[in-house]
Amino acid sequence: MKVFRSDQHSLHFPTGELSGGVFVRPFECPERWEYISQSLQENGYNDIAEPDALNMDLLSRIHGADYLRFLQEAWRLWEAGGFKGDALPTVFPARRMQQREPDDIDGKLGYFAMAIETSITAGTWDAARSSAACAQSAAKHVSDGANASFSLCRPPGHHAGIDLYGGYCFLNNAALAAEVLLDGGSNKVTILDVDFHHGNGTQDIFYQRDDVQFISLHGDPNDVFPNFLGYADEKGEGAGLGYNINYPMPPKTPYSKWKEALNDATRNIQTYQPDALVISLGVDTFELDPISFFKLKSDDFTDYGRAIAALKLPTVFIMEGGYAVEEIGVNTVNVLNGFQSE
């Protein structure tokens, strides 16, 4: 399985994030990439490539022009305002307020952000662009005939919507991969999101479309981030009605229950009959993950990798979350090994 990665991920490294009322070292840190990269090498995943340049025309199919402009200029505007630290939003357009992008950088941050744990730094745009380029190249590799590929994306992407960022995400890598597959000849694509947190951004992008089926297995938003999207009654709208499927699950969900949801998800995928599959691979379902509450063990990741392979679809794996740093590499490789074993 070919692996696409870029060292430019390290350009994004905020000094901290607000968690539980305390400013802490970010959970989404460069070590995540390093542990996964090391584990890949130790397990023989040595077919490694740098990505091609990012196709901005493809990216503009999933993100709004104003949003992309904001990401490119945010740090310059922040510095021009005389600010010294990382760029964080402090005000949001809440109910009955104007939904209008201000000129003020503080207002712009709040207008495009969905949460305040996600900082923008001097290197954020370049890192996010390189992460999306990895997803694009991995999808192109599969579109050209490979059975599978893995994109070691950092920063992750599934919380980035049409015109919003948050949850450590700026550009939606999985959505871009789906667009590349469609552009390469697929008529229908399924995105299966197995990250602990709901892929609200991916849902936002494809909610009214029928050429991309979105399925997410995640912690119940009534109990955990992103809180305001990911409920079971969200089915899609217009042409997309019926093609958005959520499986919210409660705290302490064991693998046996999680696997039941996965089995139902695979049946829905088989009914849809896509030409290709994108996996938003978050391994924060692990029992020791510091910001999650599922109870999957390392061997469980191997088992569900086999279940994904049983679908017998060209598959692009896109790295999302996972914050138990010492185990993140093991669990990621276990999914890929399980897939390869089939």
Active site residues: 159
Q: CA-to-CA distance for 298 and 71, rounded, in angstroms?
A: 36
Task: List all residues 6 or more positions away from 322 whose beta carbon is below 8 Å from its beta carbon.
Answer: 32, 282, 283, 284, 286, 289, 328, 331, 332
Burial class (CB in 10 A: 0-12, 13-18, 19+), 184: middle
HEC string for 154-189: CCCCCCCCCCCEECCECCCHHHHHHHHHHHCCCCCE
Burial class (CB in 10 A: 0-12, 13-18, 19+), 42: exposed
Residue closest to 117 by CA, chosen among 34, 45, 225: 225
* Helices then strands, each counted (H, E), the chain: 10, 10
- The β-bridge partners of 49 are 4
Q: CA-to-CA distance for 89 and 111, rounded, in angstroms?
A: 9
Task: List all residues 6 or more positions away from 239 whose beta carbon is below 8 Å from its beta carbon.
Answer: 208, 209, 210
Residue closest to 193 by CA, chosen among 205, 183, 209, 180: 205
* 236 Rama class: left (phi>0) / alpha (psi -120 to 50) / beta: left
CA angle at 166 for the pair 123 and 211, rounded to the nearest 5°: 105
What φ, ψ does residue 205 adopt, rounded to 5°?
-70, -40
The rounded Cα 209 to chain-centroid distance in angstroms is: 19
